[in-house]
Chain A
Amino acid sequence: MQRFEGQVQLVLYPFALNPTSEVATQAAWCAGEQGKFWEFHHMLYRRQELWSRLTAPLERLIDFAKDVNLDTATLRSCVESGRMQDRMQADKAYGQQLQVSSTPTMFINGYRIVGTQSEGELVRLIRQELNRVRPQGQ
């Protein structure tokens, strides 16, 4: 993102495909209420092996939350209240509208990319799109 500063915006749609992921998604949004969405988001991926196979991962995620200085009681009550459910369902519906059936799926403007891509390939596709929307010399 840094190399395309001012030219690219990334919009993240956490797309929960199973109940464990639903808890993590809600926890991430709840962390966002405390201004720590990205910290928590990155931590979820870094420590994925430690929680992603649990059927009830909330306790483990609450433990992790301490490491990014979140108020764990607030985080727990936010997740357990279920008030992020609507948001999650709305994103699911939006994804389905775009025929997203697996993750990761990306749209670079209107161009769909399914599956994990190397950094080099993503850079190439972003450059290609930038050249398309902003032809050189303009």
Chain B
Amino acid sequence: MAKKSKARAQTLSPRQQSPQKPLTSRRWRLKLVIGGAVLAVALGVGGLVRFLQQRDLAPHLQGTGDKHYTQGTAGAAVVIKEFSDYT
């Protein structure tokens, strides 16, 4: 019986023979890499959405202040559009 056990031990792959600690460490590293990738993708998507929103503003803002009350010079280099609530 003892001989048989020895033979089985010899057939174990190097991975199975490796201690538990490095395996856990590898799993953590994998989790960190995946977490980092997910975070990077989320930040990228957020940045892209923000960029697209700002880019979309430009054509909308070209509308003039027709029927709106204005102060200052028409056709000025800087146009301030103010949205305010009286309450």
Contact = CB atoms under 8 A, between A and B. Distances in A.
Contacts of A107: 57, 61, 79-81
B63 interface: yes
A89 interface: no
A48 to B, nearest CB: 7
B86 A104 contact: no
Contacts of B68: 11-13
A45 B86 contact: yes
30 contacts: A5-B73, A6-B76, A8-B72, A8-B77, A10-B71, A11-B68, A13-B68, A13-B81, A14-B86, A15-B84, A18-B85, A18-B87, A21-B85, A21-B86, A25-B86, A32-B69, A37-B69, A38-B71, A48-B87, A87-B67, A98-B57, A103-B84, A105-B83, A106-B83, A109-B79, A110-B58, A112-B54, A112-B57, A129-B78, A133-B77
Interface of B: 53-54, 57-58, 60-61, 63-65, 67-87
A45 B84 CA distance: 11
Contact of A1 (B72, B75, B87): B72
A38 B64 CA distance: 19
Interface of A: 1, 4-18, 20-21, 24-25, 28, 32, 37-38, 41, 44-45, 48, 52, 87, 91, 94-95, 97-100, 103-110, 112, 126, 129-130, 133-134
Grouping DSSP codes into helix (H, G, I), strand (E, B) and loop, the A interface class, with mixed when no group exceeds half, is mixed
